[in-house]
Structure 1
């Protein structure tokens, strides 16, 4: 599948390229000790600018998901799962991703998952698969 890749910036480069080192990296605020996503130059909680990326475990839990059956483009393989995954490092630390390696009918809310990176050019997309 051809994916639309993000434009890399100073703020998001660590997130999109952490997979080169096998790390899922999330932005963290030193002032209020909170992780946040998407990456930004200031903390959305306390507005401090002392933020940087940190590696997290790469584990997660499916909070919700949908199965897409519509082939929006000819190169999209349907069906595929779009999910919101929450990371254990902090309640509410969530982001949108795809669940891969598991048939869509076997995905469920509460399913434990782990990150798996898919490289495209200089971007490593953090996708998730069912945890063993």
Structure 2
């Protein structure tokens, strides 16, 4: 179910699942539309811009693979869906701050979507 999403990350594309019946856009990929319950689902590419909905700074990491401090955030994409992600780069984050998509490389060639500040 998530294979097309992960494959698109290899190309630096953030896909959102969309319902072909009602037009609802959602993330994370799943079997049913959260808008109408339909199963006729497709994909559309996100422009990769949004706003910080909420965030927290983690000062004590649960593992050495995630050196602290780091920022965990909810980013509301301009297309509507919310992603749980990391904010990188800036240190003066605030709610409603505009952000844009960046990528964190994984060892197997896939990428994770992260966000950086998007100044006006």
TM-score (norm 2): 0.90
Partner residue, 1:41: 31
1:28 equivalenced with 2:21 (yes/no): no
TM-score, length of structure 1 as denominator length: 0.83
Q: Is 1:70–2:60 an aligned residue pair?
A: yes
User: Which whole-Å CA distance do the structure 1 matches of 2:32 and 2:3 have between them?
Assistant: 15
1:96 maps to which of 77, 80, 84? 84
Deviations 1:16-63 (A, max 9, x none): 232322211110001110101110122122111110121011001000
RMSD (Å), alpha carbons:
1.3
Map of 1:116 onto structure 2:
102
State the partner residue of 1:128: 115
The unaligned stretches of length 5 or more in structure 1 are 1-10
Question: What is the CA–CA distance in structure 2 between the aligned matches of 1:122 and 1:42, rounded to whole Å?
Answer: 28
Structure 1 residue 122, shift from structure 2 partner: 3.7
What is the CA–CA distance in structure 1 between the aligned matches of 2:66 and 2:19, rounded to whole Å? Answer: 37
Is the contact between residue 63 and residue 85 of structure 1 (CA under 8 Å) also seen in structure 2? yes
| Residues in 1 aligned to 2:74 and 2:7: alpha-carbon distance in whole angstroms | 20
Structure 2 unaligned spans of 5+ = none
Q: Partners in 2 of 1:126 and 1:110 — Cα distance?
A: 19
Cα shift at 1:89:
1.4
Is the Cα contact below 8 Å between 1:65 and 1:83 reproduced in 2?
yes
Separation of aligned partners in 2, 1:118 and 1:76: 13
